Structure 1
């Protein structure tokens, strides 16, 4: 029998077993019964609640491998081209092979609409204690999820076709054009606001203690946080007065992106972000911090342990079930017990973004060099490690695995396996495996538990944070810098994230442009590998600019060379892989060709 070390979400499991007596899966993975028996389903409490549970199915799992493939390896964060290379990277993306999951999202939207139409008639639920209140909350969550799934499509596809808010019949007219971007945003926000009227602030046992059995259920804290994200995007250059997309029109000539910049959108985004922060913090949320006598170690532990110890403190929208085992298996080095796969690589440009311990950029620091090697071991790397990895900020050692780093999980037996060897003949190098090695000489380390092992199997179960308080702080800082440059709250909230990470606070006096760069830098580091970068470079319209380029050559260390940890031949910046040059059509994914063939009023995004 394999030994499995898991954190047991006992109260959550009790909730599931009580709520879904006939359902073996949790509510993120459950499916409704045969749709042909819909009338019977909505007269039965258990079946109705299974249907409601199924509405959560398409909430993304950001730590599952398909999600990292969708966004991480198609942005300037990660690469997995030893295993797979999505069409957008080669320029071969087409409507026939769209990576968008719009079909599944439309299906879930339809099921939410049916639920909203039918659930009020379920007498078995109404006869329960607080039955009317239960249905009110179920309906509010269904309305929120329907809006959320539209938002996911909008992030992928841009303006979308919005279906009527009634369940469709076979004879209905399905020829629906895209709504404009502004219409889509207004629709989604209005639906979320309606949901908030019927949602609790949070699910409490006694007014102050959160009901642990209802973690992951939608509340006003989550809904307000999502509004913050939507309004931040809505104010950003891609969506706010974007004349570059003036040719994106419906068949009747309607321009789908507004052509006039509206500065007030940044004001609304800042107000909503602050509202989201306030409601979260007034209900017990805060940045997760570990106290330690060594400030550097405190920063390291705060950022490393956040993902398994800090989610209760910092998590705003928490997904109770997450397949983090897939993430750990594919990112841990082969020197991990049981031999992990380790084919996901981090690009050099991201590695270079991490600051030195004193907060300086590597280009500004006299302590940074790439030609000497450590003569003293630290808790983060061994003797012989290249000096380019020394004296970096705490987050560097929690998020990046490099040549000479200590193994992020449980190491195999043997001295050399306690450290990571990415040089060609090393324990995790190119020579030892046909495909299981990172092309750049770096792999992601974030959210790998220090006890992780494939054999014996040890994977600490933990939820995933879809939205966390640090994101709201960054939303607020960004929107405020655009709407009210120089406002002291900008530095206040940005510096709270930096100092939590063990970095010195930024001093006042930065220009708006300098502050913008600092905020964008902080989003890249703090939110790395969590699904934001792909969308951030697009909404900022910087995907073709040096330092954030999504196409062309990507660099790393020379994985084909090196016979020792301190071999200079390995530590040479070299082109690790290349992608197709950035094209305008990459701002959005295409609608599938099958949908274009069915819906003759639907226009494709230009370029596809």
Structure 2
């Protein structure tokens, strides 16, 4: 029988809004309600779960700015039917505004994005935790630590979007004056310091890992808290918030600067120490890079496909079996059918479960390395100029590309993460019910109307690439229907390794230790070490030995290792690189063409609209009117 934890069940009830305990949704200043909510341990535990509730809503990838605005995946905006919330994807098309901001987490009371309300609930929990007389001392300490973590993370989520935010350290009293209610924004350094303070207070009283996974998987641990602390300090140290000249004129109405005008290298030192501590605690508690172990149903598996499945399953493996998964959210990833191509005519029957509309642009495809472990435009052995010519699948590439199938030349001789992450015309799609090496599916994307009907824009992948990494290899959308559920990672050990390498490089430049942590990730991905790869194959072999060069390498390494996991959108923002990335048009192939020569012509789908102001979200105009002490973000 499939085990579903008590914790998850309570969260589902809360998220669906079917609880009979209506008091959980009323304002915390209702004294009678609060006395009931904390009258005993069981009622207090229910209130603890309300503090977790907003966190679980972050699992919706379509409302995650790190997922929708990264340029890794684009979504058609001309559908006659709209099965998903397209707001986040459309932000790249210039729809963001201050009158009605898209993905409004500042005051989204009616959209499930009310983060400040969630912070208020956390404060209420902390202020009333002493009331249940039957709550043990040990549980009380743990619950306090969990709520402090949640409070910190909610502040962090807002800070990544808006920069300086009001710090809601305690709930206001019911007798608070109008002036007290009109809180102002705290400077960005104060914001990050407060978040770290809460995480430092929480970590010692959290369990290192969850022992009783059947009952408690999804609750916060020490490894999670320390890993989030590393991410917070890396964000604080990065160019967006560390002496960013674009924001220096932003001040509160009393003249208080909200951003520091001075770059502080000590922030990187602090971030490096936090990354190292998180790694040491994770490894001490048994976390390690994931490696695929074939089930009994797979009797023969070549090394190439084993590596592909290792890289895929590092994301899609069950939480309790994934040795490198530090943190995920309880709701499972609900978009596998959007990431899966229609492999045969039978797949058309599953039009609602397999819409196939998450499209990967050419810019993301061409980001992946060659099989030599360097960018394809730097690899002196890769025919970059001739990459759009046509080549036929052969014996040597048969586990990546269908034999005798004509596809574009740049699909050959790429790194294993390319084949683990992308579905493409001619590409092998191992799984989907077929595990026999002599009878594997491959994608046929040309002339897509043959499967979907003439130019059926409700089922069209508009680029010809799918984010294969987001689909479990055992999920079936063709002959029958079976979805293998998984939890999209928020933090994996591989990502933490690359954060540490990034921080080390910013502190001291290239070093043996930085190379070591990069190579841990590259070795698992089937690539040579970073120094050897650049020395032997790059047109710019000295790049790996300079601070600026290694920074570029690490940034690309993170984008490749964590592609489609909702990380790149946040990374590109904190690096101040998203504007440059989005300066390239969003392109795909001519997907309606059946002939290879006509299909493989880059086709511009749209040009993204992104300026300096888009690095931070606008605060809704009406919120500035209601609270006269708030100031708008720069350039809005």
TM range (shorter): 0.7 to 0.9
- Residue 491 of structure 2: SS of its match in structure 1? strand
- How far apart, CA to CA, are the structure 1 residues paired with 2:195 and 2:156? 7
Change (3 A) 1:512 1:294: farther
- What secondary structure does 2:22 align onto? coil
**Structure 2 residue aligned with 1:59, among 55, 59, 62?**
55
Q: 1:563 aligns with which of 587, 590, 594?
A: 594
The equivalent of 2:119 in structure 1 is 109
Cα deviation 1:555-591 (Å, max 9, x = unaligned): 221224x224xx11000122122222x3111011112
**Alpha carbons of structure 1 residues 367 and 203: separation in structure 2 relative to 1, 3 Å:** closer
1:459-474 superposed matches below 5 A: 459-474=483-498
Match of 2:568 in 1: 533
Q: Offset at 1:428?
A: 5.4
Is 1:335 matched with 2:343?
yes
Q: What corresponds to 2:419 in structure 1? A: 397
1:499 corresponds to: 523
Using the TM superposition, name which of 361-370 and 343-352 deviates more: 361-370
Superposed CA deviations along residues 88-144 of structure 1, whole A, max 9, x for unmatched, are 3233311232223223100110011111111211123x2xxxx22112111110111
- Are 1:27 and 1:56, in contact at CA under 8 Å, matched by a contact in 2? no
Q: CA deviation at 1:398?
A: 1.2
- State the shift of 1:480 in Å: 0.3
Tell me what 1:4 maps to.
none
Q: Which residue of 1 aligns with 2:312?
A: 304
Contact kept in structure 1, 2:318 and 2:486, CA below 8 Å: no
Deviation at 1:25, TM superposition (A): 2.9
Instruction: Render the CA deviation track for 1:26-85: whole Å, top value 9, x for unaligned.
Output: 7998976323522212104333211111211222567634235x4433222111033546
Moved more, 302-311 or 149-158: 302-311
Alpha-carbon distance change, 318 to 85 in structure 1, aligned in 2, over 3 angstroms: closer
Q: Does 1:144 align with 2:137?
A: no
Change in 2 beyond 3 A, CA 1:170/1:107? farther
Q: Is the 8 A contact 1:77 1:528 kept in 2?
A: yes
- Answering whether residue 576 of structure 2 is matched by residue 573 of structure 1, we say no
Q: For the structure 1 residues 90 and 79, does the alpha-carbon distance in structure 2 shift closer, same or farther, using more than 3 Å as the test?
A: same
The structure 2 residue matched to 1:254, chosen from 242, 253, 256, is: 256
Q: Is the 8 A contact 1:423 1:429 kept in 2?
A: no
Structure 1 residue corresponding to 2:45, chosen from 46, 49, 56: 49
Q: Tell me how far apart the structure 1 counterparts of residues 159 and 419 of structure 2 sit (CA, whole Å).
A: 35
Q: In structure 2, what is the Cα distance between the partners aligned to 1:65 and 1:169?
A: 37
Task: State the 1:599 CA deviation.
Answer: 1.0
The 1:421–1:432 alpha-carbon spacing in structure 2 relative to 1, beyond 3 Å, is: farther
CA contact (8 A) 1:417 1:427 kept: no
* 1:423–1:90 Cα change, 3 Å: same
Task: Check conservation: 2:165, 2:186, Cα contact below 8 A.
Answer: yes
SS of equivalent to 2:316: coil
Q: What is the Cα deviation at residue 277 of structure 1?
A: 0.2
Within 1, Cα distance between the matches of 2:553 and 2:194? 33
Change (3 A) 1:140 1:180: same
For 2:506, the equivalent position in structure 1 comes to: 482
How many aligned positions are there?
Answer: 574
Q: Secondary structure at the match of 2:607?
A: strand
Aligned counterparts, 1:21-100, within 5 A: 25=13, 33-34=22-23, 35=26, 37-59=33-55, 64-67=60-63, 70-82=65-77, 83=79, 84=86, 86=88, 88-98=91-101, 99-100=103-104
Tell me the alpha carbon deviations over residues 536-559 of structure 1, each in whole angstroms, 9 at most, x when there is no partner: 2221122232xx2x2452222122
Q: 1:519 to 1:349 in 2, by over 3 A?
A: same
Aligned partners of 1:372 and 1:362: how far apart in 2?
17
Match of 1:5?
Answer: none
CA distance 1:471–1:62, change in 2 (3 Å):
farther
**Aligned partners of 1:143 and 1:195 also within 8 Å:** yes
**Contact persistence 1:401–1:408 (CA under 8 A):** no
- CA 1:354/1:264 → structure 2, altered by over 3 Å: closer, same or farther? same
Give distance in 2, aligned partners of 1:212 and 1:239.
40
- Any unmatched runs of 5+ in structure 1? 1-7, 205-209
Three-state SS of the structure 2 residue aligned to 1:385 is strand
Give me the whole-angstrom Cα distance separating, in 2, the residues matched to 1:397 and 1:237.
32
Shift of 1:9: 5.4
Q: 3-state SS of the aligned residue for 2:632?
A: coil
Contact 1:114 1:167 in 2 (8 A): no
Q: In 2 relative to 1, CA 29–58 (structure 1 residues): closer, same or farther, beyond 3 Å?
A: farther
Q: CA 1:355 to 1:431, structure 2 compared with 1: closer, same or farther past 3 Å?
A: farther
Q: How far apart, CA to CA, are the structure 1 residues paired with 2:604 and 2:619?
A: 33
* Aligned CA distance change for structure 1 residues 197 and 51 (closer, same or farther; 3 Å): same
Which region of structure 1 is more displaced relative to structure 2, 473-482 or 244-253? 244-253
Q: Does 1:601 align with 2:619?
A: no
Using the TM superposition, give the Cα deviation of residue 598 of structure 1 relative to its aligned residue in structure 2, in angstroms. Answer: 1.5
Q: Secondary structure at the match of 1:120?
A: coil
Residue equivalent to 1:448 = 471
- Partner of 1:306, secondary structure, is helix
Retained in 2: the 8 A contact 1:314–1:469?
yes
Secondary structure of the 1:221 match is helix
**Aligned Cα root-mean-square deviation (Å):** 2.8
Structure 2 unaligned regions, length at least 5: 80-85, 108-113, 295-300, 533-543
- 1:265 is aligned to 267
C-alpha distance in structure 2 between counterparts of 1:164 and 1:425, whole Å? 55
Q: Deviations over 1:289-308 (max 9, x none)?
A: 23798553342121012223
Instruction: Give the secondary-structure state (helix, strand or coil) at the position aligned to 1:589.
Output: coil
Aligned residue for 2:95, secondary structure, equals coil
Distance 2:339 2:513 in 1: 37
Question: Are residue 160 (structure 1) and residue 184 (structure 2) matched?
Answer: no
Pick aligned residue for 1:13 from 5, 10, 34: 5
